[in-house]
């Protein structure tokens, strides 16, 4: 969470003033009072970390993590590292709130917040379970702070919270930090859990449209679910080929936290909006750790001129054939050839029947699947029909015939090759 808009005051005369003079004044910290309340101060290059936790190496190393993150934020937001020379914030990692209140580190005008909050020079984070999640929250608040200081703002809520989540997802390993990390397994991001929230919403039939996410009101950011939606949307927009370039330019516009920011962004992506909305639904329909939006984009299948023969690629999501079918049509489908299907450190040669060593959504990975695309209802792609090497299948709805090789959209990148697929009407 971050403080958005509101009256801006001139900062006190500090080196930080050169970075952005229009920020709230620094909190007046009485170091003696802090110490007397059992709070330790751990100074770093860009952060003074205050915590009431002891004997916790994962908390102590947050100072190193934060200092390394500054370089990562510079790279992502295109800010010269020299500009951060005097950048220094205070971060409070809190187990016992009363202690921080007594120490004067939680002023009366601090709003009630869920887990973390940033305002001006300060970041507050409540200690979370596991080692990952407190660090994530500090990086989340740190992303807000960096955007406020160096970009002049962080845009409206969906963008501000979505970007803070997106950048905060990190890998911290062997003294190296990587922000904006693509986590492919929940164990890499313990207790973070946003993909699970999206999956639960899908099961409960509560999926949000893109406009719904744009419109999440500020008071709903008291719930973790709103962060999950904002993150998923920023992740999707930053990857989808029809939106990624326009999305990137938003970092230059985030002084504006009003609805105008969103209206203008919506206008820039308008010419592809129907396809983007459709792909968003497919993205949510298969949402999981590591999912990449580029694999949720429906592509034209490679077709042999004048014939119903197609090359279906193993490293792509749904591929459309231009063949229109009606519900009840019977089609004979045959698939030949071999391709490579790979999972972490392992690869198999597969035919259209798939390899029964691993399964995705109930079918062997590598199995040829058919789906029927109806632009107004993607259900036909979310409930595909198993084809395999050779099948006669009945169409379950009207629309355009599509194919895909069964694999998780988080793991398609390292697949190689394609199947030759032929389609004929069954008599």
> Which residues contribute to the site for Zn ion (CB under 5 A)?
1, 161, 164
Q: How far is the CB of 161 from Zn ion (least distance, A)?
A: 5
Question: 328 burial class (0-12, 13-18, 19+ CB within 10 angstroms)?
Answer: exposed
Q: How far is the CB of 141 from Zn ion (least distance, A)?
A: 7
Report how far residue 309's alpha carbon sits from residue 292's, in angstroms, rounded to the nearest whole number. 28
Q: How far is the CB of 257 from Zn ion (least distance, A)?
A: 13
Q: Which is closer to Zn ion, CB of 49 or CB of 164?
A: 164
Instruction: Give the contacts of 35 (CB within 8 A, at least 6 positions apart).
Output: 41
Q: Which is closer to Zn ion, CB of 128 or CB of 319?
A: 128
Q: Which is closer to Zn ion, CB of 157 or CB of 278?
A: 157
Q: How far is the CB of 422 from Zn ion (least distance, A)?
A: 52
Residue among 153, 179, 177, 155 nearest 165 (CA): 179
Report how far residue 141's alpha carbon sits from residue 124's, in angstroms, rounded to the nearest whole number. 8
Q: How far is the CB of 262 from Zn ion (least distance, A)?
A: 17
Instruction: Give the contacts of 189 (CB within 8 A, at least 6 positions apart).
Output: 132, 136, 169, 183, 289
State phi, psi for 137 to the nearest 5 degrees: -65, -40
Q: Which is closer to Zn ion, CB of 1 or CB of 70?
A: 1
Which residue's Cβ has the minimum distance to Zn ion?
1
Report how far residue 399's alpha carbon sits from residue 175's, in angstroms, rounded to the nearest whole number. 52
Largest CA distance in the chain: 88
Contact present, 180 and 142 (Cβ < 8 Å): no
Q: Which is closer to Zn ion, CB of 87 or CB of 124?
A: 124
Report how far residue 376's alpha carbon sits from residue 139's, in angstroms, rounded to the nearest whole number. 39
Q: How many Cα atoms sit within 13 Å of 263 on the Cβ side?
A: 5
Q: Please give the C-alpha separations between residue 62 and each of 92, 118, 171, in angstroms, as whole numbers.
A: 11, 16, 13
Residue whose token pair is 């395999």: 388
Q: How far is the CB of 321 from Zn ion (least distance, A)?
A: 44
Report how far residue 345's alpha carbon sits from residue 22's, in angstroms, rounded to the nearest whole number. 50
Q: How far is the CB of 157 from Zn ion (least distance, A)?
A: 9
Q: How far is the CB of 1 from Zn ion (least distance, A)?
A: 4
Q: Which is closer to Zn ion, CB of 135 or CB of 343?
A: 135
Q: How far is the CB of 4 from Zn ion (least distance, A)?
A: 10
User: Strand 363-373 to strand 399-405: parallel, antiparallel, or no bridges (unpaired)?
Assistant: antiparallel
């Amino acid at each position: 969470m971050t403080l958005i808009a509101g009256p801006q005051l001139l900062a006190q005369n500090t080196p930080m003033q050169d970075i952005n003079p229009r920020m709230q004044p620094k909190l007046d910290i009485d170091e003696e009072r802090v110490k007397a309340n059992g709070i330790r101060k751990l100074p770093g290059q860009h952060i003074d970390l205050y915590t009431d936790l002891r004997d916790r190496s994962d908390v102590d190393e947050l100072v190193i993590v934060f200092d390394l993150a500054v370089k990562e934020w510079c790279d992502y937001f295109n800010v010269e590292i020299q500009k951060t020379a005097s950048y220094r914030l205070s971060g409070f990692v809190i187990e016992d709130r009363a202690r921080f209140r007594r120490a004067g580190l939680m002023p009366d005008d601090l709003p009630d917040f869920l887990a973390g909050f940033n305002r001006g020079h300060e970041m507050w984070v409540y200690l979370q379970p596991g080692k990952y999640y407190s660090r994530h929250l500090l990086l989340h608040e740190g992303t807000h702070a960096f955007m406020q200081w160096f970009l002049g703002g962080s845009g409206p809520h969906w963008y501000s919270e979505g970007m803070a989540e997106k950048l905060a997802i990190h890998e911290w390993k062997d003294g190296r930090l990587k922000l904006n990390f693509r986590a492919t397994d929940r164990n890499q991001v313990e207790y973070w859990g946003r993909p699970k929230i999206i999956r639960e919403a899908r099961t409960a039939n509560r999926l949000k449209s893109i406009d719904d996410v744009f419109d999440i009101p500020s008071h709903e950011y008291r719930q973790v679910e709103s962060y999950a939606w904002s993150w998923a949307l920023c992740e999707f927009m930053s990857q989808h080929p029809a939106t990624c370039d326009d999305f990137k330019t938003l970092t230059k516009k985030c002084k504006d936290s009003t609805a105008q920011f969103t209206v203008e962004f919506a206008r820039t992506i308008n010419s592809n909006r129907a396809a983007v909305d459709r792909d968003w639904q497919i993205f949510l329909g298969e949402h999981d750790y590591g999912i990449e939006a580029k694999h949720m984009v429906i592509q034209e299948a490679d077709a042999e001129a004048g014939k119903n023969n197609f090359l279906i690629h193993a490293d792509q999501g749904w591929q459309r054939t231009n063949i229109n079918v009606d519900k009840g049509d019977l089609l004979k489908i045959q698939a030949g050839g071999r391709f490579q299907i790979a999972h972490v450190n392992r690869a198999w040669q597969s035919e259209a029947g798939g390899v029964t060593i691993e399964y995705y959504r109930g079918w062997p990975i590598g199995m040829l699947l058919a789906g029927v695309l109806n632009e107004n209802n993607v259900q036909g792609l979310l409930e595909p029909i198993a084809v395999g090497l050779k099948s006669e299948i009945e169409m379950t709805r009207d629309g355009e015939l599509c194919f895909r090789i069964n694999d998780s959209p988080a793991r398609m990148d390292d697949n190689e090759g394609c199947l030759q697929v032929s389609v004929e009407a069954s008599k």
